[in-house]
Amino acid sequence: KEKIITLAIESSCDETSAAVLVGGRTVLSNIIATQIPIHRKFGGVVPEIASRKHIVNVMPVIDEALEKASVTLKDIDQVAVTYGPGLVGALLVGVSAAKALAFTLGVPLIGVNHLEGHIFANFLSAPELKPPFMSLVVSGGHTSLVHVKGYNSFSLMGQTRDDAAGEAFDKVARVMGLPYPGGPQIDKLAQKGDPMAIDFPRALQEKGNYEFSFSGLKSAVLNYLNSMKLKGIEVNKADVAASFQHTVIEVLLSKALDAVKETGCDTLVLAGGVAANSTLESRLREVTAKNNIKFYFPDKILCTDNAAMIGCRGYYQSLAGNYSDLYLNAVPGLAL
Ligand code: KG4
Ligand code: ZN
């Protein structure tokens, strides 16, 4: 069959999503049911609540994706699903639904790595994009530099030793009294602040080191807020947000540029939820242009968790015959 139709399912964290794709890059539907309002009152994702909500949402979301794409289950040629990394209970809901569908329809099942999915979101936004390229994956759970050598060949240059970039955004926002998820809130607040107001520390700055560490920065922001409070000095929250964000962005930027140069790539690709950050995107656009590097980032809706990116990754995996069997299980700590 020339035009493979993929049904994709994503449930690794707090979004239940289903998508239908024709071939690797044409998205017929991408339905996302977010649980953000439910978790907001707890200041973060509550795993048990997330799993239960996924169970309620998964079949309606799949139905809606099929309907929006004007296809029926009989048209589906393969089922792709995120099996890690993520919350185990949340992942299990998507994996179980995908296995049941693949089994009853008699079609192949494809277990997809969530991080690879984030990178592949770029193929949906940029039809001309082809490997090789360097990718900077920045999400709530991960911060990694991945050298994409081919559609099915990746090499990890480095990742975070502790907190992910998005996690640092969320934790700093939380101590500043901003609602979950904190990334977009800091992004907005930072636009009114001075990024040079406070000099926060940058970790692991040696050349050739592609690891990240953001927990020291997070503590530095906490200490700053506490000491100002003790001294009775009112802080300018916008300045704190802007200075924190500036520090994260400059670290990401310099390591990404070094990685591009070391591998001789001519293209840098941004991926993951933090890619939605407006300043990160504009700074990367600026420095890549100055250095003659092509730069791609996904449409906003494809930056955060969604099933279309999983379907795209699943399609390219199927071209390499990389299928899963019905013993597929959730792997919460799945590496790249
Ligand atoms: O990729 P994603 O949807 O989920 C994971 O796989 O982790 O990323 C969610 C993360 C959260 O930490 C959220 O605060 C962050 O992405 N985020 C942002 C922005 N929008 C979402 N961080 C900074 N600026 C933003 N505009
Ligand atoms: Zn994600």
272 lines ligand 1 (CB under 6 A): yes
CATH of residue 22? 3.30.420.40
Residue 185 counted as domain residue: yes
pLDDT value, residue 175: 92
Tens of pLDDT along 87-103? 999 999 999 999 999 99
Tell whether 67 and 156 lie within a shared domain. Answer: no
Domain of 166 in residue numbering reads as 131-297
Q: Is the CB of 274 under 6 A from ligand 1?
A: yes
13 in contact with ligand 1, CB cutoff 6 A: yes
Predicted confidence band of residue 215 (pLDDT cuts 50, 70, 90): very high
Do 109 and 155 sit in the same domain of this protein? no
Q: How far is the CA of 87 from the centre of ligand 1 (A)?
A: 16
Check pLDDT > 90 for residue 207: no
Instruction: Tell me if 335 is assigned to some domain.
Output: no
Q: DSSP string spanning 246-295?
A: HHHHHHHHHHHHHHHHHHT-SEEEEESGGGG-HHHHHHHHHHHHHTT-EE
Same domain, 135 and 276: yes
Go through the chain and tell me how many residues it has.
336
Question: What's the total number of domains in the chain?
Answer: 2
Q: Is residue 275 part of a domain?
A: yes
Mutation pick for ligand 1 pocket among 15, 30, 87, 169 (CB with most ligand atoms within 8 Å): 169
Residues 172 and 115 grouped into a single domain: no
Cβ-based neighbours of 197, under 8 Å, separated by 6 or more: 236, 239, 240, 242, 243
What is the crossing angle of helices 165-175 and 215-230, to 10°?
A: 10
pLDDT-derived band of residue 161, with 50, 70 and 90 as boundaries? very high
Q: Which atom of ligand 1 is nearest to the CA of 86?
A: 6
Mean pLDDT value of segment 117-142: 96
**Is residue 156 over pLDDT 80?**
yes
- 224-265 per-position pLDDT tens digit: 999 999 999 999 999 999 999 999 999 999 999 999 999 999
CA distance 211 to 282: 23
Q: What is the dihedral of CA 62, 63, 68, 71, to 10 degrees?
A: 100
pLDDT tens digits, residue range 49-68? 999 999 999 999 999 999 99
* 209 has pLDDT over 80: yes
Q: What is the pLDDT of residue 80?
A: 98
Task: Output the CA 231–ligand 1 centroid distance in Å.
Answer: 33
Q: For all residues of the chain together, what is the average pLDDT?
A: 96
Assess if residue 65 is contained within a domain: yes
Q: Are residues 110 and 199 in the same domain?
A: no
Q: What is the mean pLDDT of residues 272-301?
A: 95
What type of residue is 287? V
pLDDT in tens, 305-316: 999 999 999 999
Residue 211 sits at φ, ψ, to 5 deg, of -85, 155
Contact between 28 and 124 under an 8 Å Cβ cutoff? The reply is no
> Would 191 be classed as within a structural domain?
yes
Task: For ligand 1, atom 10, name the residue with the nearest CA.
Answer: 140
Q: Is the CB of 116 under 6 A from ligand 1?
A: no
- Report yes or no on 325 lying in a domain: no
Q: Are residues 170 and 212 in the same domain?
A: yes
Q: Residue 125 domain-assigned? A: no
234 and 250 both lie in a single domain: yes
Atom 11 (ligand 1) nearest CA: 140
Residues 105, 175 within the same domain: no
Q: Are 67 and 203 in a shared domain?
A: no
Distance 292 CA to ligand 2 centre (A): 29
Is the domain of 235 the same as that of 273? Answer: yes
Mutate which of 139, 214, 336 for ligand 1? The one with the most ligand atoms within 8 Å of its CB, which is 139
Whether residue 45 is contained in a domain is answered as yes
Give the pLDDT confidence score for residue 206 in this predicted structure: 87
Q: Is the same domain home to 40 and 160?
A: no
Together in a domain, 275 and 314: no
Residue 142 CA, closest ligand 1 atom number: 7
